Amino acid sequence: MERTVTGFRRYLARRLMLLAFVIWCILTIMFALFQLLPGDPTSLFVDSNFSQEMIDRQKTLWGLNDPLLVRYFRYLNNMITFDFGQSFFQITPVSEIMADKVKNTCLMIVPALLISVVLGTLIGAVAGWKRGSIFEKSAITLSLVLHSVPSFFVGILALMIFSYQLRWLPPGGMVPLGGPEGFFEMVSSGSYWVHLILPGMVLVSREITGPILLLRSSMLEVKGSDFLDILRAKGLPNRQILTHATRNALLPLVTYIAVMTGLLFQGQVLLEIIFAWPGIGRELVQALNDLDYPVAQAALFVMALVTLAMNFIADLLYGVIDPRVTYE
């Protein structure tokens, strides 16, 4: 037992060191990319009435005239301590903007993620258990079709049909104008759930395919395991045997859920634009258009952190789900 704990500590230390190195690489690449962007934020304010002295004063106020190394180390310190500064254009602390936008993005992707994982796991497990059946063939065919269609195309199509043609659902936004603004007031209101139906339906149609295909493949491998023959010999009903087989087939799904969560945070940008959802992806596009560097850098950093954190958690959960996994 002591040896196992020591091995886990060593593994955890290695993963934390690697995580810190990856974060440093991401921050450095982001800094270099923003330095290479053409123009600067003052260009959007400059007109014929601005003197060079006024322009230099504004750049000094924003720290754009400092030496490159000074800006780099200040940038690293601010990002690591989550001190994102103030937005150039919204005159608001970037941390407040990020907190609001991340909350809005979570309100869109978390329900879709839960539905996709739960339904996808059930459908994939049953499809793998009943190999060769009509249910399996239908599930695999539908999954491959949905997986091959771009989500933005499905979003535009759903918007045209259900909003503009049938007028069943609102075309965008989280709540109507003048609706609830607080988190609990919004979640408990019916208007939020009505506005969530279209983007949520598009996300589920895309993300449910991964758990279905993955669980079906994993279940086919587990189905021939010896421990299932022992469970049958003990007289367990098929439903309990299917439950045990599904638990052993879940390990590959943990990694996929982590990757899927990160991709949802990074890949929902187009859907937030299509459905006018005020999330972090839409804010990132707006910040890049405005050359609002603090907001854009913070948005990219939060997206990267979510992906890294989910993969790190998945690695640690391996030993909980599968006792055969060791950290030596």
Give yes or no for a contact between 84 and 43, defined as CB atoms under 8 angstroms apart: no
For 265-283, b/e burial (b = at least 16 CB within 10 A) is: bbbbbbbbbbbebbbbbbb
Give the C-alpha separation, 157 to 165, whole Å.
11
For 247-259, b/e burial (b = at least 16 CB within 10 A) is: ebbbbebbbbbbe
Which of 175, 178, 8 shows the shortest CA–CA distance to 107? 175
3-state DSSP call for residue 93? strand
How sure is the predictor about 21, in pLDDT bands with cuts at 50, 70 and 90? very high
- pLDDT, one tens digit per residue, over 56-87 is 776 676 666 777 788 888 888 888 888 887 78
- Is it the case that residue 229 has pLDDT exceeding 80? no
Lowest average pLDDT, out of 149-163, 164-178, 220-234, goes to: 220-234
Alpha helices in 43-180 (DSSP H): 52-62, 68-80, 94-129, 134-148, 151-158
Q: What is the mean pLDDT of the chain?
A: 78
Give the C-alpha separation, 119 to 209, whole Å.
10
Give yes or no for a contact between 321 and 251, defined as CB atoms under 8 angstroms apart: yes
3-state DSSP call for residue 86? strand
Tokens standing for 300? 């990219």
- pLDDT, one tens digit per residue, over 296-324 is 888 888 888 888 888 787 777 766 666 56
pTM of the model: 0.77
Give yes or no for a contact between 27 and 75, defined as CB atoms under 8 angstroms apart: yes
How sure is the predictor about 41, in pLDDT bands with cuts at 50, 70 and 90? low
Residue range 170-179: mean pLDDT, rounded:
71
By percentage, how much of the chain surpasses pLDDT 70? 75
The DSSP 8-state label assigned to residue 232 in this structure reads H
Which of 230, 259, 256 shows the shortest CA–CA distance to 244? 230
- Write out the H or E segment, with its range, that includes residue 13: helix 2-36
Give yes or no for a contact between 211 and 121, defined as CB atoms under 8 angstroms apart: yes
- Is it the case that residue 181 has pLDDT exceeding 70? no
Give the C-alpha separation, 121 to 219, whole Å.
10
Which residues are CB-neighbours of 226 under 8 A, at least 6 positions away? none
Give the C-alpha separation, 194 to 167, whole Å.
12
CB atoms within 10 A of CB 32: 10
Residue range 28-54: mean pLDDT, rounded:
71
Give the C-alpha separation, 176 to 173, whole Å.
7
Q: Is the dihedral of CA 43, 294, 304, 268 positive or negative?
A: negative
- Write out the H or E segment, with its range, that includes residue 294: helix 293-321
Residue range 173-194: mean pLDDT, rounded:
71
- pLDDT, one tens digit per residue, over 86-119 is 787 777 888 888 888 888 888 888 888 888 888 8
Task: Give Cα 252 distance to the centre of its chain.
Answer: 18
Please give the biggest Cα pair distance in the chain.
88
